[in-house]
Amino acid sequence: MQITQGINVGLAALLRNKLRSVLTTLGIIIGIAAVVAVVSVGGGAEHLIRVELERIGGAGMIVCFRKDKLRRDDGAYIENKHPEYIEYEDLAFIIDNCPSLKLAVAQSGTNRRVSHKHVSQSLEIHGTTPFYQEANNWFIQIGRFITENDIERMDPVCVIGSEVHKDLFQMQDPIGLELRIGSERFTVIGVMEEKGNSMASEGWDNRVIIPLTTLGIRFIGRYKGWIYLSCQAESYEKVEQAVAEIKVAMRQLHGDEKYFDFFTAKQIIKQVGNVSRIVQILLGGVASVALFVGGIGIMNIMLVSVTERTREIGLRKAIGARRQDILTQFLIEAVVLSICGGLIGIFIGSSLASISGLVISKLMQASWPAVVSIQAALIAFGVSAFIGIFFGLYPANKAAGLTPTEALRHE
């Protein structure tokens, strides 16, 4: 019997029992759909973190700050009493000596009462340097941003977020107007575009941004350790190289880099990716139980089919059908059932993943994409085909092993 003829015979047998064929594939459909949906929804976590990081600067972000505590050789932590601190002057040295960096800014922050006329709020006051916009992917909408001249002169100027613009100035043009930060008077020179609230940028629109040097002289005083550096590597692949260059620079500036900590966005992405993969494997394993149950269902139905068609098998063998022909026929039936169930399961799983992504996005108020993995779909398809072969092999082998005389005597 040719393979095409075996397929035709197998399909004809399945079509004669449409309802039974559909019910047999349900286990495979549910299992494959569950695996694809779980893997796709889980894969959205890493993508979400990347999107959120892009909102505040990008996946190449590196933050350098002074450690509060140091870890001793015995594992205990002690206070970092090293006299070195990150200084504003470190910024220029790092920019000049770290070729893997695209840009770097010095930053710090404090909270103060901000008022205009009779409206007053407690807001975050953020001191920074000119490349703050590019470093945080947040740009000016009205007016201008802080310049090097503002930094050098320690000017009492500020840029406000969109919520500050709305709450304190009722959306009127604020450029050139004054507001009070604590007891100090500042002139508004710009308004930032609306950042919106998300996992990574909660409250940014309520910020007031001033020159870093102005923050230091008017609000921080002689307190040390208030500055940290926020950098951007040239690319995601160059993050480790950029960190190594910053460590060398800090060693030259302060004698040793061990007194400082280096945090990268890449670390978060890797950690989230690892956790996501573990969760996917665990949930995928649970969902795979349905595949096993579906495989048993296929084997059960194929055994019933062999029993029902014993006389047909005997007749085929009596007129010249070989053992291999009978084996192929029944194996094709099992594989067709399994593959059809797998294809339907992939379609349903992809649809469930998309719906789940929308529901999670609404609940979390963040864009959670259901990234349908082509790899997961192909693996699911391969698994469904394997299940058809594995669980169909025993019934097919049983059918092929019947002798013509034994099969023809069967009632």
Dump the DSSP string for 300-314: HHHHHHHHHTHHHHH
Q: Which residues are within 8 A (CB) of 48 and not within 5 positions of it... i.e. 6 or more apart? A: 199, 366, 367, 368, 369
Which distant-in-sequence residues (6+ apart) come within 8 Å of 198 by Cβ? 52, 55, 365, 366
What pLDDT is recorded for position 245? 93
Element (H, E) at 39: helix 18-55
The H or E element spanning position 228 is: strand 228-233
CA-closest candidate to residue 27, choices 374, 283, 391, 394:
391
Please state whether beta strands 184-192 and 157-160 pair in parallel, antiparallel, or not at all (unpaired): parallel
Beta bridge partners, 158, equal 188
Angle among Cα 85, 135, 273 to the nearest 5 degrees reads 95
Which residue in this structure is represented by tokens 């043009």? 173
pLDDT for res 140 = 94
DSSP 164-179: HHHHHHTTS--TT-EE
For each of the chain's 411 residues, which pLDDT tens digit applies? 456 665 666 666 667 777 777 777 777 787 778 777 777 776 676 677 777 777 777 778 889 988 887 776 666 777 777 788 888 889 999 999 999 999 999 999 899 999 998 889 999 999 999 999 988 888 999 999 999 999 999 999 999 999 999 999 988 899 999 999 988 999 999 999 998 776 656 788 999 999 999 999 988 876 677 899 999 999 888 999 999 999 999 999 988 888 898 988 888 878 777 777 777 677 667 666 766 777 777 777 777 776 766 667 667 667 776 777 777 777 777 777 777 877 888 888 878 877 777 776 676 666 666 666 677 667 767 776 777 677 667 766 766 666 666 655 555
DSSP string, 153-222: HT--EEEE-HHHHHHHHTTS--TT-EEEETTEEEEEEEEEPP----SS-TTGGGEEEEEHHHHIIIIITT
Composition of the chain by helix, strand, coil, percent to 5 = 60, 20, 25
Confidence (pLDDT) at 159 = 96
Task: Give the three-state DSSP class for 86.
Answer: coil
Residue in this structure with the two tokens 């494959």, named with its chain if needed: 32
Closest alpha carbon to 262 in 231, 297, 221, 298:
231
Buried b (16+ CB within 10 A) or exposed e, 84-96: bebebebbeebbe
Q: What are phi and psi of 79, to 5 degrees?
A: -65, 140
pLDDT the model gives residue 242: 93
Structure tokens at 385: 């085909």
Taking residue 270's Cβ as centre, other Cβ atoms within 10 Å add up to 12
CB contact set of 59 (below 8 Å; sequence gap of 6+)? 50, 53, 236, 239, 265, 266, 269
d(CA 115, CA 105): 28
Separation CA 114–CA 289 (nearest Å) = 59
- For residue 173, CA distances in Å to 142, 150, 160, 177, 334 come to 9, 21, 12, 8, 73
Listed residue (145, 149, 107, 99) closest to 126, CA to CA: 107
Q: Supply the pLDDT for residue 11.
A: 66
> What is the predicted pLDDT for the residue at 137?
87
**Positive or negative CA dihedral for 217, 218, 222, 228?**
negative
Assess contact for 58 and 265: CB atoms under 8 A.
yes
